[in-house]
């Protein structure tokens, strides 16, 4: 895994084999907020005081969790993030990315601190048995499953549903299993009726 600074000054990771970056090269923080957080209507729902259960498939380098948790910590609702990451190497590289101080001066205000909080929660969660909750602060908590999403979905309580899903896998050309109809059907079966 190598680091790459994106257009908004925030770094992302580049896959060591196929060379695809984890985020849009125009901006990792911007993508996390625009595509995922606002794309799933989290601001409005959290502002109304809702309890949001979020599933993220592909959690390294941590920007999506950082953006969701930063937003939730400033609004009346609550957020429970179930993070899935199958690659311990990607997660370790994400933590190195966060500890690198060279990019922080060029990043949007609040982004480095949000990533620090997300990484701290993921590090703590990685020391717990899969599915153990870590409090990020206030009404925000995170749990981490270090395994492929398909097998993790089968281990969850059959009745557990999510209000939003961040499917942040690599493109279908390099990670086709994340886009298989059977997997997408199983993932869709975990979305709550209003999700």
Q: pLDDT tens across 132-156, in order?
A: 999 998 899 999 999 888 888 888 8
**pTM score of the predicted model:** 0.94
Four-residue CA torsion sign, 102, 106, 112, 113:
positive
Q: Rounded mean pLDDT of the chain?
A: 94
The whole-angstrom separation of Cα 52 and Cα 72 is: 9
pLDDT at 184: 94
Q: Report pLDDT for 107.
A: 94
Backbone dihedral angles phi then psi of residue 145, each to the nearest 5 degrees: -120, 120
Query: In sequence order, what E strands does 43-127 have?
Result: 51-57, 78-84
């Amino acid at each position: 895994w190598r680091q790459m600074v994106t257009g908004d000054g925030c770094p992302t990771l580049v896959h060591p084999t196929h060379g695809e970056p984890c985020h849009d090269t125009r901006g990792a923080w911007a993508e996390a907020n625009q595509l995922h957080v606002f794309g799933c209507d989290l601001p409005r729902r959290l502002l109304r005081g809702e309890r949001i259960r979020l599933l993220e498939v592909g959690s390294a380098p941590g920007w999506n969790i950082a953006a969701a948790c930063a937003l939730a910590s400033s609004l009346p609702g609550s957020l429970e993030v179930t993070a899935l990451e199958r690659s311990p190497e990607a997660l370790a590289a994400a933590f190195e990315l966060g500890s690198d101080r060279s990019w922080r001066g060029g990043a949007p205000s609040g982004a480095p601190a949000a990533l620090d909080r997300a990484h701290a929660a993921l590090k703590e969660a990685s020391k717990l048995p899969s599915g153990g909750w870590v409090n990020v602060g206030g009404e925000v908590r995170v749990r981490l499953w270090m395994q492929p999403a398909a097998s993790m979905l089968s281990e969850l309580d059959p009745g557990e549903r999510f209000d939003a899903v961040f499917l942040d896998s690599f493109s279908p050309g390099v990670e086709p299993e994340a886009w298989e109809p059977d997997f997408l059907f199983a993932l869709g079966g975990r979305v709550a009726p209003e999700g």
